[in-house]
Amino acid sequence: MFSVFPTARLKPSPFYESAVAEGMTAASIYNNMILPTSYGDPEAEYWRIIEGVSQWDVGVERQVQLKGPDAGKLAQILSPRDLSKCKVGQGKYVPLCNHEGTIINDPIVLKLDEDRYWFSIADSDIWFWARAIGAERGLDVEVSDPEVAPMAIQGPKSEDVVASVVGDWVRELKYFWFKETEIEGIPVAVQRSGWSKQGGFEIYLKDPTKGTQLWNIFKEAGKPWGIGPGAPATAERTESGLVSLGGDTDDQTNPFEVRLGSYVNLDVGDDVVGIQALRKIAEDGPKRHQLGLKLEGSNPAPLGFRWEAIHLNGEKVGDMTNCVWSPRMKQNIGYALISVEVQLGQEVQVKRPDGTVNAELCELPFL
Ligand code: THG
């Protein structure tokens, strides 16, 4: 047993005290912050997302704010997805790539105003990146951390809970669209989003001193629907086919390899970072693709912290990048990042720490 002490280097989110009060038992690190990952009953937390409504401290999803006359220009230069038709109040899921076409983050981009954007980032430092690219291109834009922290309300009953707090207008909100508003005087943005496929919303808290108050408003309001604490769930996201950047990707992975090719528009301007490399990769055809794996055996055997080699006919053909017990499928499932020459339906062998396990390749998502 060991303790983790929040410091300036390991920043607590505004909801940290609430997470502790709810009985947080496990946490991870993400964007130099503490990400609560369990409250002691993973099984109950999983079913709460699938069947009910779950409340998550995802303050680690930090915002990189671009503000100024060239904010839109920089947003597009960073994004190989066409943002020209993105409206104020709209969000879009965007793979960010480096000059080699390697994916370095996969934020949701929110357009708050004509001259103001947030990149709601996954786990890598995009402030450095955006500032450097903006400065090198001579753009008039300020890149900052606006100290905004999302809280997720996820699951099939989330719409009822969020509507009971902010009003029935949220029922009309389209996916990734958002609205800036106030909840009991607390400034927020409310978006239909979240890292699950069970439906839900994220409440972006704009005043970091109001975390506990905002948490408790939803905790109270959600009682009739049985709300409880939870966290982004590996089992649910794997069943649903969501990509975890840095988990399912390495420092050579491009968007086409991990099913994010549809979020790349090859005809964006030549000044977009990585677009030349992405055009070439698209033309040559990617070398790997991402498939599902159904593993033999009936005991939960999650992945440790390393990828595990996948063999076909005695040769290494790829890696298993994650693996988790699926409570709904009642088997271990995972993702393969594997040679495009290996196809669906083939049986492969995964080299696990305790021995070789047979697995079947299938289409993603699983469910
Ligand atoms: N919420 C917010 N910010 C985030 C995340 C989030 N930043 C980091 C990380 N999560 C970003 N990653 C994803 C990955 C997938 C999705 C959302 C965020 C997602 N994808 C859907 C899918 O793949 O089916 C829909 C994509 C689409 O159709 O455009 O929802 O969770 N604030």
**Phi/psi-derived region of residue 200, left when phi > 0, alpha when psi is between -120 and 50, beta in every other case:** left
- pLDDT, tens digit, 9 for 90 and up, residues 57-112: 999 999 999 999 999 999 999 999 999 999 999 999 999 999 999 999 999 999 99
Reported confidence tier of residue 5, pLDDT bands at 50, 70, 90: confident
Distance (Å, rounded) from C-alpha 204 to C-alpha 294?
A: 36
Q: Which residue, judged by its Cα, is nearest atom 11 of ligand 1?
A: 107
Q: Where are the beta strands (DSSP E) in 208-354?
A: 228-230, 288-295, 308-312, 315-326, 331-339, 347-352
- What are the Cα distances from residue 340, in Å, to 254, 278, 311? 14, 17, 14
- pLDDT, tens digit, 9 for 90 and up, residues 172-196: 999 999 999 999 999 999 999 999 9
CA of 131 to the centre of ligand 1 (A): 23
Whether the Cβ atoms of residue 213 and residue 228 lie closer than 8 Å to each other: no
Domain at 16-62+148-237: CATH architecture: 2-Layer Sandwich (3.30)
- pLDDT, tens digit, 9 for 90 and up, residues 217-237: 999 999 999 999 999 999 999
Q: Which residue, judged by its Cα, is nearest atom 24 of ligand 1?
A: 242
Mean local confidence (pLDDT), 37-66: 97
DSSP secondary structure code for residue 87 in this structure: P
The ligand 1 atom at the shortest distance from the C-alpha of residue 195 is: 31
3-state class (DSSP) for residue 291? strand
- The predicted structure's pLDDT at residue 313: 94
* Percent above pLDDT 70 for the chain: 99
Distance (Å, rounded) from C-alpha 14 to C-alpha 151?
A: 10
Distance (Å, rounded) from C-alpha 282 to C-alpha 153?
A: 37
**Has residue 16 got a pLDDT over 60?**
yes
CATH 2.40.30.10 for domain 63-141+254-284: no
- What are the Cα distances from residue 176, in Å, to 30, 40, 158, 215? 22, 31, 15, 21
Whether the Cβ atoms of residue 272 and residue 318 lie closer than 8 Å to each other: no
Phi/psi at 162 (5° precision): -65, -40
Q: Where are the domains of the chain?
A: 16-62+148-237, 63-141+254-284
- pLDDT, tens digit, 9 for 90 and up, residues 253-276: 999 999 999 999 999 999 999 999
Name the helix (H) or strand (E) containing 149: strand 149-154
- The predicted structure's pLDDT at residue 9: 85
Q: Which residue, judged by its Cα, is nearest atom 29 of ligand 1?
A: 93
Distance (Å, rounded) from C-alpha 323 to C-alpha 320?
A: 7
Mean local confidence (pLDDT), 192-202: 98
| Higher local confidence (pLDDT), 5 or 350 | 350
How many CA atoms within 13 Å lie on the side-chain side of 155?
Answer: 27
What type of residue is 134?
G
**Mutate-to-test residue for ligand 1 from 85, 188, 195, highest number of ligand atoms within 8 A of CB:** 195
**Has residue 20 got a pLDDT over 90?**
yes
Q: Are strands 288-295 and 331-339 parallel, antiparallel or unpaired?
A: antiparallel
- pLDDT, tens digit, 9 for 90 and up, residues 134-161: 999 999 999 999 999 999 999 999 999 9
Mean pLDDT score of the chain: 96
Ligand 1 lining (C-beta closer than 6 Å): 61, 93, 106-108, 120-122, 150, 193-195, 202, 242-243
Tokens found for residue 331: 């088997």
- The predicted structure's pLDDT at residue 2: 61
Question: Among 306, 317, 307, which Cα is nearest to 346's?
Answer: 317
Helices marked H in the chain: 16-21, 42-51, 71-78, 126-136, 158-166, 211-221, 234-240, 275-284
- The predicted structure's pLDDT at residue 345: 85
- What are the Cα distances from residue 198, in Å, to 49, 277, 352? 7, 35, 31
Q: Which residue shows structure tokens 């698209």?
A: 282
3-state class (DSSP) for residue 49? helix
3-state class (DSSP) for residue 225? helix
- pLDDT, tens digit, 9 for 90 and up, residues 304-318: 889 999 999 999 999
Distance (Å, rounded) from C-alpha 62 to C-alpha 353?
A: 35
Reported confidence tier of residue 7, pLDDT bands at 50, 70, 90: confident
